Amino acid sequence: MANSLVHVLATREQLAAFDEKEDAERVCLIGSHWIQVMGVLLELRQRVVGTSLVLFRRYCTLRRVNNLEVGMTALTCLLLGCKAAETAVSIKQLCTVGMYVCGMDKIEKKETDACTAGGTDATENTSSDPFVLPSLYDELLLRTTEELLRRELVVLEALNFELHVVLPHALGVQYLQTLGLVRDTQFVQTCWNLMNDALRTRLCVSLAPFCVAVGCVALAARIHHRKLPDEWYRVFDATVQDTADVEAALTAMYSAMLEAQAGPSKPAWMHMREVEYATIH
């Protein structure tokens, strides 16, 4: 495969070290969810959100991110995703949306309690207080902006200033055209959804983008009961193990989310305080 179709992947040692971190996968799911929500509120392109998700997963694989850092780390990766995709974004709007979605206005108040109460989970913000839009010179907004710019350098250094990201979506569409399935709108939509969800898992740092695309096509074919040609994946330089890895990772993520939703109380990070989009701007 040409270099333009791949990007930096984690080594086996890095993935093994990530698996040993307590609650690492849960923190990644929280941060990925927040990045997607912030992308919707800011009306960012899918390219920006996808790039941000990959950068966030890369950083979490290389560094330990605790509950109190996940919001700012997600916000920082979204800023870097905007820069990598050459998309202009207002720092004030970015920080305001981050304060709203990630509950930074509440997390800051809980930091002391988290240290004294034996590890209170700051991501489980159950407060129903309405969000107050900060003014231009709001103290918390200024501190958030300052911390965002400081954290940007930390993330860049950890990533070795490597922001090149290849998303599987364009590759997946090409593969569907080759297989003659591009006119099946339901099948294409399922593939697209699976590729979006794959960016929230470790697949974006463990498998090459073309392998992720092939795995999502294979899983979509299984969902829609479509028979594909024998060993079709070899045409796209993938293996049957790649398709199995994609299915396993996505199934694990869906199972974790269903388990969280079926619990006694829905985690606060899985829903948002209702507010009109215009209020953010």
Per-position pLDDT tens, the chain of length 281: 445 678 888 899 999 999 888 888 888 999 999 999 999 999 999 999 999 999 999 999 999 888 778 999 999 999 999 999 999 999 999 999 988 887 754 544 444 344 444 444 444 444 456 666 677 778 888 888 999 999 999 999 999 999 999 999 999 999 999 999 999 999 999 999 999 999 999 999 999 999 999 999 999 999 999 999 999 999 999 999 999 999 999 998 888 878 766 655 554 444 433 333 333 33
pLDDT recorded at residue 110: 44
Looking at residue 269, its pLDDT comes to 42
40, burial (CB in 10 Å: exposed 0-12, middle 13-18, buried 19+): middle
Residues 147 and 202 placed together within one structural domain of the fold: no
Written as one letter, the residue type at 60 is: C
| Domain-located, residue 280 | no
Number of separate domains in the chain: 2
Q: Indicate whether 154 and 228 sit together in one domain.
A: no
What does the pLDDT read at residue 126?
A: 43
58 within some domain:
yes
Copy the structure tokens of residue 4.
Answer: 């333009």
Whether the CA torsion 222, 228, 233, 234 is positive or negative: it is: positive
Residue linked to tokens 């999502």: 216
* Alpha carbon distance 176, 115 (integer Å): 51
Listed residues 131, 165, 199: the one ending a domain:
165
Task: Kindly state whether residue 277 falls inside one of the protein's structural domains.
Answer: no
Residues 32 and 153 in one domain: yes
The reply to whether 95 and 201 lie within a common domain is no
Judge whether 106 and 141 are in contact, CB under 8 Å: no
Specify if 281 maps to a domain.
no
The pTM for the full model equals 0.83
Nearest to 221 by CA among 210, 232, 207: 232
Determine the angle formed by the axes of helices 46-62 and 12-20, rounding to 10 degrees.
Answer: 80
Q: 132 with 145, same domain? A: yes
In a domain, 270, yes or no: no
pLDDT for position 155: 96
43 in a structural domain: yes
Residue 274's pLDDT is what?
33
Distance CA 129, CA 8 (A): 42
Same domain, 16 and 130: yes
* Co-location of 81 and 145 in the same domain: yes
Three-state secondary structure along the chain? Answer: CCHHHCCCCCCHHHHHHHHHCCCHHHHHHHHHHHHHHHHHHCCCCHHHHHHHHHHHHHHHHHCCCCCCCHHHHHHHHHHHHHHHCCCCCCHHHHHHHHHHHCCHHHHHHHHHHHHHCCCCCCCCCCCCCCCCCCCCCCHHHHHHHHHHHHHHHHHHHHCCCCCCCCCCHHHHHHHHHHCCCCCCHHHHHHHHHHHHHHCCCCHHHHCCHHHHHHHHHHHHHHHCCCCCCCCHHHHHCCCHHHHHHHHHHHHHHHHHHHHHHCCCCCCHHHCCCCCCHHHHC
Q: What is the CATH number of the domain that holds 192?
A: 1.10.472.10
pLDDT of residue 118: 46
Q: Do 201 and 257 sit in the same domain of this protein?
A: yes
- Look at residue 264 in the predicted model and tell me its pLDDT: 56
Does 123 share its domain with 51? yes
For residue 222, the enclosing domain spans 169-261
* Residues 6 or more apart whose Cβ sits within 8 Å of residue 55: 77, 80, 81, 84, 155, 159, 163, 165
The per-residue pLDDT for range 60-109, each reduced to its tens digit, is 999 988 877 899 999 999 999 999 999 999 999 999 998 888 775 454 44
Q: Identify the domain boundary among 165, 184, 215.
A: 165
Asked if residue 278 belongs to a domain, the reply is no
Tell me which of 165, 193, 213 is where a domain ends: 165
pLDDT at position 131: 67
Q: Are 114 and 82 members of one domain?
A: yes
Q: Is residue 141 part of a domain?
A: yes
Residue 53 and residue 104 in one domain: yes
Can you give the pLDDT at residue 5?
74
Q: Are residues 155 and 71 in the same domain?
A: yes
